[in-house]
A and B are shown apart, each in its own frame.
Chain A
């Protein structure tokens, strides 16, 4: 909290000193006024809503594919050997470079944004989830096997359960990535959403509106991150950090 106050104070001081043209750095008051106007007269809520929808759709699509795949990659060495080179390769492909391709394939509808978010998060997620699974203590697995657990039971009753807290953390981190790719997608191919609004504002030199857009995304990120951390503590009280 103190760090936020400090940042706000510094921002206000720089803006008020007049050292920077308000065209480039509007003060907090101007930004707040713009936020009020955007929220009441324009459609800040609608822009935010459509952006959240896109992030959630792309992220959910990634998660439902990446969690099982990551689990099996982490659990079975042959599966790992089969997929890992491909995943390592794909991970280094810059998702942003796929924008033209995604536009060609998926057009400028919702699917292109979701596809880009998927591209940006899926491969990271698979790799991180498989890491989470391979960090499960060997003795937890071995204890289950000497109690007569089958391979499938080891995967579902030990690996999945044991890795769940760190998988949850992985999902929390990759949700952050998803927001980055959302803005990229909306900057190049959209007619709604926060990223699009930021681009529009730039076109009309509405710097204060750019600030509102950025701060809104930051606040959404902060709120989801904190709620997920809270949820983590409630769901996995045994997982100490």
Chain B
């Protein structure tokens, strides 16, 4: 059981205030989605938690230990897959096992366990047929499966996903949604998921955090106490209720209202 704690976190890029007073907790077994209009800093927040960006002020710790940089306890999945094209699917999945921090334990038991885990992840992600293929021979959806398997191979406490399905078509996304929920049931990693798609957020997450821009801050937090997800649920009234409420919050915070006023002024003039 691990807890990620973000407290009063702020981020500035020179004179631009990207994030202000962010407070967030994430515990083992949870699935939290970060949504918000573009420019609200949701990806920046994820990258700070991943250790890929520094924070300007505020606390960021896991079980009391401050985060100072990237680490294998927080594996990340990116929108553009970021696979290693010179490695096969299986070699990509096993990539972290070639790093010193994992290779320390070369006992037969550890190596055997790693091989079993890699095979399990390959099966879990539906990659058995393409395990020896190269990433460039795969479709976008399959590549993202490899990237997720590669991240899970490190057995991270927290899986950080930065708009992972943003580049996929709708049908592939639906398949990936059910797959990632399946992964969540089997793996113990907590998942922090950045998306601009409210439906995706409500479908996947136990909790949806709405960020608002100028500067990026938490607008509202929504617990989603919906029954186990099936695709039909996306049409159920209670699902649509959350989708509508959250979408309206994002609209209200994104400055679209003033855009409309500007447009009307232009049309009138």
Which residues of A approach B to under 8 Å, CB–CB? 137, 139-140, 142-150, 153, 157-158, 161-162, 164, 236-240
Which residues of B approach A to under 8 Å, CB–CB? 50-52, 69-72, 74-76, 78, 80-82, 84-86, 95-96, 98-102, 134-136, 147, 150-151, 154, 160
Given that A148-B101, A150-B100, A240-B136 are known contacts, is A143 also in contact with B86, CB under 8 Å in the complex?
no
Q: Which B residues lie within 8 Å of A239 (CB)?
A: 85
Given that A161-B86, A237-B134 are known contacts, is A143 also in contact with B76, CB under 8 Å in the complex?
yes
Q: Which A residues lie within 8 Å of B136 (CB)?
A: 238, 240
Q: Which A residues lie within 8 Å of B99 (CB)?
A: 144, 147-150, 153, 157
CB-based contact A146/B134 at 8 Å: no
Of the listed residues B74, B85, B96, the one surrounded by the most CB atoms of chain A closer than 10 A to its CB is: B85
B144 to chain A, nearest CB (A): 12
CB-based contact B86/A139 at 8 Å: no
Given that A146-B50, A157-B98 are known contacts, is A137 also in contact with B80, CB under 8 Å in the complex?
yes
Q: Which residue of B lies closest to A142 (CB)?
A: B52
Q: Which B residues lie within 8 Å of A150 (CB)?
A: 99-101
CA A149 to CA B150, docked complex, whole Å: 13
Of the listed residues A144, A147, A150, A238, the one surrounded by the most CB atoms of chain B closer than 10 A to its CB is: A147
CA A94 to CA B84, docked complex, whole Å: 39
CB-based contact A139/B80 at 8 Å: yes
CA A148 to CA B96, docked complex, whole Å: 7
CB-based contact B71/A148 at 8 Å: yes
Q: Which residue of A lies closest to B97 (CB)?
A: A147
Q: Which A residues lie within 8 Å of B98 (CB)?
A: 157
B92 to chain A, nearest CB (A): 10
CB-based contact A146/B52 at 8 Å: yes
Given that A237-B134, A238-B85, A238-B135 are known contacts, is A143 also in contact with B71, CB under 8 Å in the complex?
no
Q: Which residue of B lies closest to A165 (CB)?
A: B86
A236 to chain B, nearest CB (A): 7
Q: Which A residues lie within 8 Å of B52 (CB)?
A: 142, 145-146
CA A143 to CA B87, docked complex, whole Å: 14
Q: Which B residues lie within 8 Å of A158 (CB)?
A: 84
CA A236 to CA B160, docked complex, whole Å: 31
CA A149 to CA B103, docked complex, whole Å: 11
28 contacts between A and B (CB under 8 A): A137-B80, A139-B78, A139-B80, A139-B82, A142-B50, A142-B52, A142-B78, A142-B82, A143-B76, A146-B70, A146-B71, A146-B76, A146-B151, A147-B95, A147-B96, A147-B151, A148-B99, A148-B154, A150-B99, A150-B101, A157-B95, A157-B99, A162-B84, A162-B85, A237-B134, A238-B134, A238-B135, A240-B136
Q: Which B residues lie within 8 Å of A161 (CB)?
A: 84, 86
Q: Which residue of A lies closest to B87 (CB)?
A: A161
Of the listed residues A139, A143, A153, A239, the one surrounded by the most CB atoms of chain B closer than 10 A to its CB is: A143
